[in-house]
Amino acid sequence: MRDPKAIFEPRNVVLIGSSALAEEFGMASPQLFENVAFNMKKFFKGKTFILDAGKGRVTRNLAEACRRSQLAVIALPPRKSISFLEKGAALGVKTFVLIAGGYSDKQRSKLLELKAKYGIRILGPNSIMGVLNTANGLNTTFARDTMPNRGNIGVVCQSGGVGASLLDWACFNKIGISKLAFVGDKIDIDDADLLRYLGDDKDTKVICLYIEGVKRGDVFLKVASRVVEKKPILVLKGGATEESAQRAKSHTASIVGSDEVFDAVFKKAGVIRVGDIEELMGSAVALSKQPPMLGDNVAVVSNVGGPSILAADAVVRHGLKLALLSEKTRAKIEERFSGVDATNPIDLVADARGDRYSGVLRLVLADHGVDGVLVINMLKSTFFEPKDAEVIPKAAARYPDKPVVDVPMGGEDFSLVQAVLGPSRIPLYDIPEKAVKALKALRSYGAAVARH
Amino acid sequence: MRDPKAIFEPRNVVLIGSSALAEEFGMASPQLFENVAFNMKKFFKGKTFILDAGKGRVTRNLAEACRRSQLAVIALPPRKSISFLEKGAALGVKTFVLIAGGYSDKQRSKLLELKAKYGIRILGPNSIMGVLNTANGLNTTFARDTMPNRGNIGVVCQSGGVGASLLDWACFNKIGISKLAFVGDKIDIDDADLLRYLGDDKDTKVICLYIEGVKRGDVFLKVASRVVEKKPILVLKGGATEESAQRAKSHTASIVGSDEVFDAVFKKAGVIRVGDIEELMGSAVALSKQPPMLGDNVAVVSNVGGPSILAADAVVRHGLKLALLSEKTRAKIEERFSGVDATNPIDLVADARGDRYSGVLRLVLADHGVDGVLVINMLKSTFFEPKDAEVIPKAAARYPDKPVVDVPMGGEDFSLVQAVLGPSRIPLYDIPEKAVKALKALRSYGAAVARH
């Protein structure tokens, strides 16, 4: 079967909407059509043929547009969408994105009939926001003038709302995205197809899924297992409880299994399950910037006492371990940096500046009993200056097999250090709890890779 | 015993530090002394007598300063601190804050001896940042030029780092604070003393504790139980695991009990335990702005599908229930707002504006099966405008016995709605998970109040 490459990598795109028609409730509206057109014109590097079904003479332009396009994006109510899909397929377009939902069972059958007849692929219906590719500027979302930075996190999302929120989150926090696809009702192209594509995509290093249900569980498991050998997959599952699962079923017409079944499938495939959107993005950033963690042992290096105790609590609570440093490492640290207590969590004392962080971090990273490091560097109650944080990526770069995450704990403190370390390879978290969840994801991927 | 009122409400303060002396490792330094002096001069409404022990003629000024001050803040190393404490006590000062740590057992004994001899009260040693009162501008922290907004959240903190982080968080996110005390080693004034004071303090509506250990467990339990009848107490416990508890013991010289014991004491007193700093602040804001929740039943009202499913998952995961709306309420909603599915979580559909939110919210809040409401209003994939959010506090105000929290999910979306609702009585969270934790705290307080 034709792979969904044209979904992300069309040379040219035909966009069909209407400046007049609108669904009573839903996603085909003149305003949203105008927004998608705006985004395509502004960001897409190929040519976009914009056809307004609300105006005359569409048919003549349609032939030219379809002849030259690899992808058709249709933002019209069901009946009109089907009609244009059929025309486009007859004119040679092989891949379609159907934005609006609200299809009847009969209309779905018709879509599958057309798929078989013309050998086309369909994303949606109810895709809502379609696709986004930061490499070629493809952006069929109606979040006007919103485009995330280029990056290596690929996202597959079953909900327009969750996807829009992830997009907003990524833009606001400058998290780099490679590709983003909204799968909607998954009548044809599904998670397994997109996983396979993103697994091979050289721009994608980490894959994030938001899933409410899976239609081909066996295929998903097979594809996910293979992809995990190459790159990590994170999943946030909506409808994890019986009550909300019922709602998920009506939301995107998925076949919803019990949460235990999903959990077993995810575990078997080596897919890393997270609990909420913040953990999804925080873990994705960690996996995109840092190596997997190859053992459970975490060292905490901090210039404040209380927060390092909270970090130690979180390490243990999330099933990791507080690393036991060798006597040799401890002796070296305490000898070179008098006043530092080298028992993990390691207290560098409030007057620690970059040099002390650098020296201790290198000794800690060199210790065989340490698999990863959580650094805490507060400013407000200490002598630490934002630029001192530059020593952290430098020390981490010398030990490329051990992950390092950083917690400039607080509000303003976080933003001040983020201004320095944001573009670096060190992921940043505003409280220890979130950093430990990220290390847990790095550990899970380390374990998944070791198993293969 | 003299209550610790003078800690927060002195008319005048004497601040003793040194522009020359410094501890080798620690908190008595010329720079920090200068910062505390800056804060006191800038913010404190009373008179601050600033005495520099590094310069001559301190003794003569000391007599005048101590005669007129109710509180002495001493930012000097142990030996010098004790010496000035004794002089100050002899000159009539009754309350002392000792900033620096590093006291020997003998020096601690000396402090307690002086306490008995002069009938004084001592906060610390190792208080690090001392006290802060937004009502009179008292601010002995060395976070230069940092003062949170006036508000009704009182904080008692055993760690300088955690406290500084809470202070930073509050300032950055414009969370109003009434009083903040750093208890440090708790040689004299402890959590129970401060709880009793904050329990009676009319400016304080919610109390937040960060605790690593408790010295008088029976007194704590008794005082906390009484305070909970008047206002909620939230606690974040550091050293929750055996390994980190060991560290906590050395950090603030507390007697540390097993985590199970603490949990039982907190439960018995009706103190609400939280897992991390963000949950502490998020729950405190909810408790300061909204009524306790008197039952388990949560209604979710949303303009997006996926996020409302994640909210429903979180509701169930945190031990709350999805409210079952009456047939009458459902019929009314679906009759008045065609297209809306009134099964909880209630989907208002992406084109919902303020009027639909207002109408549905009022019907939902009026339903006897609903104890609290979680609203989700995304902007990015919907027609919702930030100013539409103004209907939420209006609807909530009509049902003052049922809490309402709001999730403008995402990054920019959150900040846009925050600009509108920030000063309102509706607490805001960027993901459903955090809003549900806040509802859980409101529910816990509702249960604690009902028990009394």
CA distances from A214 to A96, A353, B351, B369 (A): 21, 51, 28, 33
Contact B32, A383 (CB under 8 A): no
Q: Which of residues 167-226 of B touch A (CB under 8 A)?
A: 167-173, 210, 212
Show the DSSP H helices in B173-258 as ranges: 191-200, 217-230, 242-252
**Cα–Cα distance, A232 to B143 (Å, whole number):** 41
Q: Which of residues 49-78 of B touch A (CB under 8 A)?
A: none
**Cα–Cα distance, B270 to A256 (Å, whole number):** 40
- Which pLDDT belongs to residue A26? 57
- Which pLDDT belongs to residue A250? 60
Q: How many contacts (CB atoms, under 8 Å) link A and B?
A: 255
Tell me the per-residue pLDDT of B5-46, one tens digit each, with 9 for 90 and over.
999 999 999 999 998 876 555 566 888 899 999 999 999 999
**Cα–Cα distance, B121 to B115 (Å, whole number):** 6
Contacts of A413 in chain B (CB under 8 A): 165, 168
| B432: contact with A, CB 8 A cutoff | yes
Q: How confident is the model at residue B235 (pLDDT cuts 50, 70, 90)?
A: very high
Q: Which residues pair with B181 in a beta bridge?
A: B131, B156
Question: How many angstroms away from the CA of B155 is the closest CA of chain A?
Answer: 15
Give residue for tokens 């950093």: A435
Contacts of B415 in chain A (CB under 8 A): 172
Question: How many angstroms away from the CA of A173 is the closest CA of chain B?
Answer: 7
CA B28 remoteness from chain centre: 26
A310–B162: do the CB atoms touch at under 8 Å? Answer: yes
Contact B446, B402 (CB under 8 A): no
CA distances from B356 to A4, B52, B311 (A): 39, 64, 20
Contacts of A304 in chain B (CB under 8 A): 159-162, 164-165
**Cα–Cα distance, A138 to A147 (Å, whole number):** 10
B255 has a pLDDT exceeding 60: no
The per-residue DSSP string of A342-396 comes to -SSSEE--TT--HHHHHHHHHHHHH-TT-SEEEEE--STTSS--GGGGGHHHHHH
Q: Phi and psi at residue A300, in whole multiples of 5°?
A: -110, 125
Stated as kind and residue range, the H or E segment containing A129 is none
- Which pLDDT belongs to residue B166? 95
The low-confidence residues of chain A, meaning pLDDT below 50, are none
Question: How many angstroms away from the CA of B90 is the closest CA of chain A?
Answer: 32
The two tokens of residue A81 are 């969408």
A251–B350: do the CB atoms touch at under 8 Å? Answer: no
Give residue for tokens 């130690």: A312
- When pLDDT is averaged across residues B280-290 and rounded to a whole number, the result is 98
- Which pLDDT belongs to residue B59? 73
B355 has a pLDDT exceeding 60: yes
Burial of A130 (0-12, 13-18, 19+ CB in 10 A): buried
| B339: contact with A, CB 8 A cutoff | yes
The two tokens of residue B301 are 């009202």
Contacts with A371 (C-beta within 8 Å, 6 or more apart), sequence order: A293, A294, A295, A296, A297, A298, A323, A402, A443
Pairing state between β B95-98 and B138-139: unpaired
**Cα–Cα distance, A435 to B307 (Å, whole number):** 24
**Cα–Cα distance, A228 to A198 (Å, whole number):** 11
Q: Give the residue on A whose Cα is nearest the Cα of B126.
A: A305
Contacts of A312 in chain B (CB under 8 A): 239, 241, 243-244, 247
Contacts of B309 in chain A (CB under 8 A): 159, 212, 238-239, 244, 247-248, 251
Q: Which of B164, B310, B382 shows the shortest C-beta gap to A378?
A: B164
Contact B245, B259 (CB under 8 A): yes
CA A225 remoteness from chain centre: 18
Q: Which residues pair with A209 in a beta bridge?
A: A156, A235
Half-sphere CA count of B48, side-chain side, radius 13 A: 23
SS3 B374: strand
CA A234 remoteness from chain centre: 8
Q: Which residues pair with A13 in a beta bridge?
A: A48, A71
- In a mutagenesis test of the A interface, which of B39, B149, B168 is the best target, namely the one with the most A β-carbons within 10 Å? B168
Contacts of B308 in chain A (CB under 8 A): 161, 247
Q: How confident is the model at residue B260 (pLDDT cuts 50, 70, 90)?
A: confident
CA dihedral B443, B447, B450, B451 (to 10 degrees): -170
**Cα–Cα distance, B333 to A87 (Å, whole number):** 41
- Which pLDDT belongs to residue A84? 96
CA distances from A265 to A269, B163, B256 (A): 6, 43, 42
Q: Give the residue on B whose Cα is nearest the Cα of A213.
A: B306
Contact A306, B210 (CB under 8 A): yes
**Cα–Cα distance, A333 to A342 (Å, whole number):** 6
Longest dimension (CA), chain B: 83
Cα separation of the two ends of chain B: 28
Contact B194, B143 (CB under 8 A): no
ω into residue A345 within 30 of 0, thus cis? yes
Tell me the per-residue pLDDT of A51-92, one tens digit each, with 9 for 90 and over.
998 876 777 789 999 999 999 999 999 999 999 999 999 999
Question: How many angstroms away from the CA of B242 is the closest CA of chain A?
Answer: 9
SS3 A284: helix
Contact B212, B159 (CB under 8 A): yes
| Single-letter residue type at A163 | G
Considering only residues A5 and B374, tell me which one the structure prediction assigns the higher pLDDT: B374
**Cα–Cα distance, A333 to A363 (Å, whole number):** 7
The two tokens of residue A371 are 């698999």
SS3 A145: coil
Residue among A253, A255, A277, A257 at smallest CA distance from A126:
A253
Contact B118, B87 (CB under 8 A): no
Check residue B202 and report its DSSP letter: T
- Which pLDDT belongs to residue A213? 87
Q: Supply angle C-alpha A347, B173, B365, rounded to 5.
A: 125
**Cα–Cα distance, A4 to A79 (Å, whole number):** 24
Q: How confident is the model at residue B60 (pLDDT cuts 50, 70, 90)?
A: confident
The two tokens of residue A305 are 């006492």
